[in-house]
Amino acid sequence: MSRLVSFPWTFLEKDLERNTSSDLISDILQQTCLHSLCREFPPAVRYRKLFLSELITRQEAAGCDPLDALYDALAEVVGAGDPTECFKSYLLPGGEAVSLLERVALVSEGTTGLVTWKAALYLAEWALDRRQTFTGRTVLELGSGAGLTGIAICRSCRPSRYVFSDGHPRVLQTLRDNVRRNGLSELPSGAVAVEEMDWTTATEEQITRIGADTVIAADVVYDPVVVEGLVEMLSRILRCSSPEVFICSTIRNPETYAGFKRLLDAAGIVHQVTTGAVSQVFPYSRVQMETLQLFT
């Protein structure tokens, strides 16, 4: 999950200058492309191809002994074609991995919900630093997408019940598969649910039945039309009960984000920016992240 330019290539070069055996390259290969996690949940073909090609380049430049396993791994990737889906594995602080099937393209089948966006990573990190907000509570997540945030919370924060939700049929199927893939379907009956929830048609009966103590959403403020339905949904949620509500956003378009806040004001929903440091767990660039807490 790290960009290739962030890898310690200089360290590798210096080590290979001192020792031209293939032992270090072999160790790296075993802990990356040949690791059991990557064999079970293979990362993107293009990503593996670039990584292995760079390893071969560094090895050959240092005059190291050839390593057949390295060339075999590259041959396997070259022959894999160019699939539209891949796995991404996100390591939690305790060493566990959340492995998700995601689309390679950022937008596919008319939705952005088949990939993990940065705000979902940030909200997961925010939750890991504030576990008391989720422990022993019923949590409703709006626009769960591929499921990273919710799976991380279920693994680390011990909610009594967690409800993933989305409105796109293809996203819901991928979400159910990722929930099952990460072992959440093995939890006690009713502890985890995946529900279809269209923000424009969701009823107060559905919201009341879920009975959320905490409501969260990540990267749902990206389009003015979508935002209108979101604010309507949030208004219904806050009318039905008094949960803690947190919305995490990457502010790509300040005008759209300001419009979201104006709609909240018009709906009588008070909002304030949460403060405090958030420990970084995942390798990504944090740019203009903000988490709002909402009140009536």
Q: How confident is the model at residue 83, as a pLDDT?
A: 87
State how far the Cα of 181 lies from the Cα of 213, in Å rounded to an integer.
26
pTM of the model: 0.93
State how far the Cα of 199 lies from the Cα of 244, in Å rounded to an integer.
18
Start-to-end C-alpha separation, the chain: 39
Q: Are 199 and 229 in contact (CB under 8 A)?
A: yes
Q: How confident is the model at residue 65, as a pLDDT?
A: 83
- Please provide residue 186's backbone torsions phi and psi, each rounded to the nearest 5 degrees: -85, -5
Report how far apart, in Å, the C-alpha atoms of 49 and of each of 58, 86, 278 are. Answer: 14, 13, 33
Q: How confident is the model at residue 112, as a pLDDT?
A: 59
For every residue of 206-257, DSSP letters joined together read HHHHH--SEEEEES--S-HHHHHHHHHHHHHHHHH---EEEEEEE-S-HHHH
Report how far apart, in Å, the C-alpha atoms of 261 and of each of 118, 229, 256 are. Answer: 21, 13, 9
Degrees to nearest 5, angle at CA 206 with 159 and 268: 90
pLDDT tens for the 296 residues of the chain, in order: 688 888 999 889 888 888 888 899 999 999 999 999 999 999 999 999 999 999 999 999 888 888 999 999 999 999 887 788 999 999 999 999 999 999 887 766 566 567 899 999 999 999 999 999 999 999 999 999 999 999 999 999 999 999 999 999 999 999 999 999 999 988 888 899 999 999 999 999 999 999 999 999 999 998 898 999 999 999 999 999 889 999 999 999 999 999 999 999 999 999 999 999 999 999 998 989 999 999 98
Q: Which tokens is 251 given?
A: 């502010």
Q: How confident is the model at residue 18, as a pLDDT?
A: 87
Q: Which tokens is 180 given?
A: 């099952």
State how far the Cα of 279 lies from the Cα of 102, in Å rounded to an integer.
25
Domains of the chain plus CATH, in order, are 4-78 (no CATH), 105-295 (3.40.50.150)
Q: How confident is the model at residue 108, as a pLDDT?
A: 60
Which segments of 62-147 are extended strands (E)? 85-91, 97-103, 138-142
Q: How confident is the model at residue 281, as a pLDDT?
A: 96
Q: How confident is the model at residue 107, as a pLDDT?
A: 62
Q: How confident is the model at residue 110, as a pLDDT?
A: 60
